[in-house]
Amino acid sequence: MRSKDKILGVLYGQAIGDAIGMPSELWPVENIRDQFGGKITTFLDGPDNSDIAKNFKKGQYTDDTNQALAILDGLIENNWQPNSEILVKHIMAWAESVGAWENNILGPSSKAALSAIKAGQDPRPITDQALTNGAGMRISPIGALFEPNQLPKLVQMVFDITKITHSSDVSISGASMIAGAVTASMADQNWDDIIDFALRANDAGFKLGAPTWAAKTHDRLQLGIEIAHKYKDDDGKFSQHIYDLIGTGTMISESIPAAVSIAYYCRDVQKCALMCANLGGDTDTIGAMATAICGAKNGQSSIPVEWVNLIDQQNPEHDFNEYADKILQFHINQMG
């Protein structure tokens, strides 16, 4: 039986990694060191000299977590059956409410696909070639719905959700990798088994997507785990090698294997969130994905109470306890 503590660990892990990584989003590591006096050590307001982060205050999460919760709203509305029109409706409602079209809040693939839908056009020419990480940034709660023995159901739901904006092979595989890592973490598998299950989910998802030329997330994750083993006692060298070799940009084939590798290395919500914030690149998205995995493994009870309280205070529009209760009920109903 899954616990509410672990479900809340996923939700708060996602939100914490997102919010701590928000101020440094899409900056090179050198800029982060200059801007923040060496490194980020806590939640901060988005700086005025960031076109994206300036829209957010300390502890607020970004599009990563807002879209994850919009997807949950769409699933809950339709009795946990993915329906593209309902999912798009909820993401569109959030986007309109925050002025996402004007304020550079939406990612490029999601923005292009949603713009096509708004214009009454078929988004598939866009979604089939989507290579950016919107597919993975919002998927972690889906991993909380399933057990490892339900891999086909997990990957099918990931596909049915992800295809609304991302339907390429690398998108479906990357999103499945994140969801799979959460599922295995929720089941309290050991960290090596978590990686093995994430790779299995990745490979199953890859078969469902439209073919692209993108680098394979499977191989990139294997390289990231090798780096984690090689530099297991040196945080600086590990993070630098992830930055240099795996990559920390917005591409799925960089940020998703980077996130899973960092979760594997850190194994702790606090350490993971802060490492991602100081990493350079797409820090909020990598933080959201990686820290959700650590939260799934260790539960909300492992997270500082003041961090949980800040997330609640700064994002009053969402009640994580209510989402957790509904996810837990879905799981109970599934298992009979």
How does pLDDT run across 45-89, given as a tens digit for each residue?
A: 999 999 889 989 999 999 999 999 999 999 999 999 999 999 999
Distance CA 68, CA 56 (A): 18
> Is it the case that residue 12 has pLDDT exceeding 80?
yes
Q: Which residues contact 198 (CB under 8 A, 6 or more apart)?
A: 177, 178, 180, 181, 184, 221, 260
Q: Is 122 annotated as a binding residue?
A: no
Query: Which burial class, exposed, middle or buried, applies to 122 when counting CB atoms under 10 A from its CB (0-12, 13-18, 19+)?
Result: exposed
Residue 335: alpha-carbon gap to chain centroid: 26
Q: Which residues contact 267 (CB under 8 A, 6 or more apart)?
A: 191, 294, 297, 298
Q: Give kind and range of the element (H or E) at residue 283.
A: helix 283-298
Confidence of residue 1 (pLDDT cuts 50, 70, 90): low
Torsional sign, CA 71, 306, 285, 222? negative
**pLDDT (average), residues 313-328:** 97
Distance CA 143, CA 258 (A): 18
pTM higher than 0.85: yes
Q: Is 34 annotated as a binding residue?
A: no
How does pLDDT run across 205-254, given as a tens digit for each residue?
A: 999 999 999 999 999 999 999 999 999 999 999 999 999 999 999 999 99
> Is it the case that residue 265 has pLDDT exceeding 60?
yes
Q: Which domain holds residue 251?
A: 4-335
**pLDDT (average), residues 275-298:** 98
> Is it the case that residue 116 has pLDDT exceeding 90?
no
**pLDDT (average), residues 244-267:** 98
What pLDDT is stored for residue 192 in this prediction? 98
What pLDDT is stored for residue 230 in this prediction? 98
What pLDDT is stored for residue 73 in this prediction? 98
DSSP H stretches of helix in 78-189 = 84-97, 108-118, 124-127, 134-137, 140-143, 151-162, 169-186
Distance CA 173, CA 261 (A): 16
Cβ 52 vs Cβ 77: under 8 Å: no
Count of structural domains, the chain: 1
Higher pLDDT, 118 or 284: 284
Q: Is 285 annotated as a binding residue?
A: yes
Distance CA 267, CA 228 (A): 12
Any idea which of 91-95, 100-104, 191-195 has the lowest mean pLDDT? 100-104
Per DSSP, 214 falls in state P
CATH number of the domain encompassing residue 218: 1.10.4080.10
Q: Is 212 annotated as a binding residue?
A: no
**pLDDT (average), residues 280-292:** 98
The average confidence (pLDDT) of the chain is 95
Structure tokens belonging to residue 139: 């998927």
Q: Is 62 annotated as a binding residue?
A: yes
In degrees rounded to 5, what are phi and psi of residue 217? -65, -30
Confidence of residue 336 (pLDDT cuts 50, 70, 90): low
DSSP 301-316: GGS-HHHHHHHHHH-T
Distance CA 211, CA 173 (A): 11
> Is it the case that residue 191 has pLDDT exceeding 70?
yes
- The rounded percent of the chain whose pLDDT value lies above 90 is 88
Q: Is 73 annotated as a binding residue?
A: no
Confidence of residue 111 (pLDDT cuts 50, 70, 90): confident
Higher pLDDT, 117 or 161: 161
